[in-house]
Chain A
């Protein structure tokens, strides 16, 4: 009996790695893309309009539609194998970049500092990457952590492409054990614990990145 329970637990834990791989890859790739898009927004107003349109469209599309589009259309069109993990990472990267660029743009820029950068003779792109982006990334850290948590939960939708993630496996186990809700709750608990760890890690990173002499918003720096 105990052996079977452990086997089931092992099965669910094995599935958790899909959630971790999909969520962290698309978070990091999305962050890189969002950083470039953010800098482009700061540097040029036509780029800003294009990025706004992209973000509006992508944020309005249900994740399942994006998953299907990448799996059935985009990957084959690019000559890539129809791999559910790859399609999930690509779809969630595109989706997350749209959210993350809005997060970066929402934290507010010091126009005076940008003007000072331009007054030195920097190009818009130089001012965006040397002055705006490093500051916005710092201020946005707490909101970006939320985005990672969302991705972790959204990654369970990759089941639609046949990815046997933690929640999908928990549901199989639940059915096999006579619809015991405990297994689904176990998967939820595991995903929650990963979220919690990410939040803790992010707070540590945020504290390290805080600019000396300024008060980091929303974070108490324990000494």
Chain B
């Protein structure tokens, strides 16, 4: 399969601190990849660079082979094609569930209201948010429901790539479970995804190729199993050992 999204040596600094240091990665069409790393390793910054919410200081991002970090590229068109699901769902608090999902197609893609709402209904059904919730407001939903609506909102832009920034991190186990199910189901349906997460249950179920990001650098890329067995020093080592332990603990619980 051809590469949809490719980052080539991107770097990003904030106030003299180099948050990303020559990061490269690639994502093929229909593929799911994982992005792991300690807090503060630059995962969120990387995702925001990939959909141009942040502009990389150096390096380039290629979407379908086109350098979208080149001057003159319409970054809004890129954001539409590379959707981002935030750690906090960040739903629009004054809009109903259906409006939250329909507003992007309506305002950004210029679809008429009926078509935008039909699209929203379709995406909400896809993430398992039923009609009984469509007229509710974000504050009236559970955490898991909110995050699923946020995923539907991203899908309604019909993006080529879906980026997840720790989608289950702020949820209770039930919420995390419902969101993980959606992420796994979308992966099965062939939605090209890059999933940044520490959630061991989600990692175990996706069991994909992973990038390990430590202090803004890619310390490893390859299958998750290999990552867990690889010897690392320092921060990377501590993180990977802890991750492997948690995965084992989850596996043991599953067998018990």
Contacts and interface: CB of A to CB of B under 8 A. Distances in A.
B118 interface: no
B182 to A, nearest CB: 18
Interface of A: 110, 112-113, 115-123, 126, 130-131, 134-135, 138, 211-214
25 contacts: A110-B90, A112-B88, A115-B86, A115-B90, A116-B91, A118-B79, A120-B80, A120-B104, A120-B107, A120-B108, A120-B154, A121-B76, A122-B76, A123-B76, A126-B107, A130-B103, A135-B93, A138-B94, A211-B93, A211-B94, A211-B137, A212-B136, A212-B139, A213-B138, A213-B140
Contacts, number: 75
B153 A120 contact: yes
B92 A211 contact: no
Contacts of A138: 94
B119 to A, nearest CB: 13
Contacts of B51: 119
B80 A121 contact: yes
A129 to B, nearest CB: 9
Interface of B: 51, 53, 76-77, 79-80, 83-84, 86, 88, 90-94, 103-104, 107-108, 136-140, 150, 153-154, 157
Contacts of A110: 90, 93
Contacts of B157: 120-121
A11 B46 CA distance: 71
A134 B103 CA distance: 14
B107 A212 contact: no
A104 B23 CA distance: 41
A115 to B, nearest CB: 7
Contacts of A122: 76, 104, 107-108
Contact of A116 (B76, B86, B94, B139): B86
Given A118-B53, A119-B53, A130-B107, A113 B90 contact: yes
A121 B93 contact: no
Contacts of B86: 112, 115-116, 119
Given A119-B51, A121-B79, A122-B107, A214 B92 contact: no
Given A116-B92, A120-B157, A122-B107, 15 more contacts: A110-B90, A113-B93, A116-B86, A116-B90, A118-B79, A119-B53, A119-B83, A120-B79, A120-B80, A120-B108, A121-B77, A121-B108, A135-B93, A212-B136, A212-B137
A121 B137 contact: no
